[in-house]
Structure 1
Amino acid sequence: MAYPDRVLRSEWTKIRTVRSTLWTLAAALIVTVLLGTLISLLIRNEFDDLSLHDRLTFDPTLTSFAGTSLGQLAMIAFGILVVSNEYGTGMIRASLAAVPQRGALLAGKLTVATLLALAVGMVTSFAAFFAGQAVLGEHRTTLGEPGVLRAVFGGGLYMGLIALFAMGLTWVLRSAMLSFGVLMPFFFLVSNILANVSATRRIGHYLPDQAGQRIMSVVDTGDRPYGPWGGLGIMALWVAAAVLVGYLVLRRRDA
């Protein structure tokens, strides 16, 4: 019988003693904040050159999160490494011997890793927002404006969910190389292409990252058939599906 507190402590020890997983979290924070700040600064300097439509639909909050597109890749890497490290080193056999209940092992790992990803995601989101607004000058907004706090809080949720999605799929693929080969190109390139090409736009808007990022918008441009929480809900369904399939694979396959 697995004791939940022991399983959680064990998973926490595994994560904090592997430097690569912690470095990916640090990279997610640094990349998201720095890139968001840089783009916010560039937009402030070129704001008068924007078209009338772009100025009227300008979203200072979303601009602060411009670094998320790259920062999320580091969070995805964290999710991949948390799961794949055990398969790569063969430690998964020892883990399953210590915790024969595979559901308990998966739940313990996902709980610890997701809470850590959410904590870093929240810090990243608020840091990116305040840094971005600091350089936007007269175009900035504040947390007290309608929808802003929701967007900033949602940004942290998004980062945590994207890591959890990567963990679920890595349980399915059970290989760091295969997981990186599938997830990185998809979120860095394929998803953006599908969401921005007219022929595939309707499909692209329902992909996990495209739907989830709607939570970080305050200004509604009318290009999505759902609202902020609806988009995050769609992403949550993707995450739940990935975790469920990961559990079924873990349960049925040998280590």
Structure 2
Amino acid sequence: MTTPPPQPAPQAYAPQSAPNWQGAPGTSYTSPIPVTRTHLGHALASEWTKIKSVRSTVWTLGIFLFLVLGGGLLVSAQTEDLNYRDLPFTFPAFIGLLLGQICLITLGVLVTSSEYGTGMIRTTFTASPQRYRVFAAKILVFFTVSFIVSAGSILLVGLLTASMHSGPGVGDLSWGGTVFKGALYVSLLGVLGLAVGSMLRHSAGAITAMLGLVLLPSILPVFLVISRSTQKLGEKMQEYNAINSLAKIFGADGGSSGGSQVWLLVGVTAAAVAGAFVLLERRDV
């Protein structure tokens, strides 16, 4: 009987050493992908892509244009030439803006609160850790879009009204200022909604808060003027609420041009934006 040849003794397993990715001493890794320093322009491009690609922008701005243009032309068709001796040609746009301002407020809230609702804000801040830069880009993009759309719609209503009504003494009032101040006022309301949406981080809550901020000053004066102690507060609230402010801007009040109302809204919006910046840096996402 033949015996099998002896087998070699098993050798201990020795793992291979990991490759040295550090390279030779004194050398460093250079990425083939060009790396550029980010700036505000990149954030603006990102926010512009967001606001133009979501359906809420198309719907809200579409309804806004329908209300301002449709309401303005309807009012213009029901008025006569003599009505524009004391009113600018842009006055019919005021009727549409009474409801159209709610569209811009809603869009302003959704620009920031919708990202918190879906959780996409984490992705945004991961791609751009400078939160203040992202928020500033949101404000600039939204304000530019809302101002251009609102100013264009008011101007178009004024031009169409001017073509429909003419006569001696008609159109003597300068109505270019109403285009600027009217568009600025409703755009600032939208920015205020954007700031409130950033602070509350909830779409329904922020929209409800903004509707209360716009509508309550128009309702409360009825009750405040009953008492002497609150009569002055009611009168001021009635003078500076959103509805009467727009009426003054478009000359419905007769004496005022709405300048003080616009400046008050500038101050309130600036304070809200400053508060939103502070909370953005202090709170986690």
Kindly provide the CA deviation profile for residues 159-205 of structure 1, in whole angstroms up to 9, marking residues without a partner as x. 32221111111111111110122223442x32322466644131232
In 1, the alpha carbon distance for the partners of 2:112 and 2:194 equals 6
**Are the structure 2 counterparts of residues 59 and 129 from structure 1 closer, same or farther at C-alpha, using a change threshold of 3 Å?**
closer
In 2, the alpha carbon distance for the partners of 1:172 and 1:139 equals 53
| Pairing 1:11–2:47 present | yes
- Contact 1:2–1:101 (CA under 8 A) maintained in structure 2: no
Which residue number in structure 2 is paired with residue 203 of structure 1? 237
In 1, the alpha carbon distance for the partners of 2:207 and 2:168 equals 38
Question: Secondary structure at 1:205's aligned position in 2?
Answer: helix
Greater alpha carbon shift after TM alignment, 192-201 vs 228-237? 192-201
Which residue number in structure 2 is paired with residue 153 of structure 1? 180
Larger Rg: 2
**Are the structure 2 counterparts of residues 64 and 177 from structure 1 closer, same or farther at C-alpha, using a change threshold of 3 Å?**
closer
| Pairing 1:250–2:280 present | yes
Moved over 6 A (4+): none
AA aligned opposite 1:25: L
| Pairing 1:95–2:91 present | no
Kindly indicate whether structure 1 or structure 2 has the higher relative contact order, using CA contacts under 8 Å at least 6 residues apart: 1
In 2, the alpha carbon distance for the partners of 1:89 and 1:28 equals 25
Kindly provide the CA deviation profile for residues 47-69 of structure 1, in whole angstroms up to 9, marking residues without a partner as x. 7xxxxxxx996565434421110
In 1, the alpha carbon distance for the partners of 2:259 and 2:272 equals 20
Which residue number in structure 1 is paired with residue 216 of structure 2? 190
In 1, the alpha carbon distance for the partners of 2:111 and 2:207 equals 13
| Pairing 1:241–2:271 present | yes
**Are the structure 2 counterparts of residues 105 and 176 from structure 1 closer, same or farther at C-alpha, using a change threshold of 3 Å?**
same
| Pairing 1:121–2:142 present | no
- Contact 1:41–1:136 (CA under 8 A) maintained in structure 2: no
- Percent identity over the alignment? 28
In structure 2, list runs of 5 or more residues that go unmatched. Answer: 1-36, 226-230
Count of residue pairs brought into register by the alignment: 241
In 2, the alpha carbon distance for the partners of 1:138 and 1:174 equals 53
In 2, the alpha carbon distance for the partners of 1:130 and 1:192 equals 30
Instruction: Quote how far apart the aligned CAs of 1:250 are.
Output: 1.2
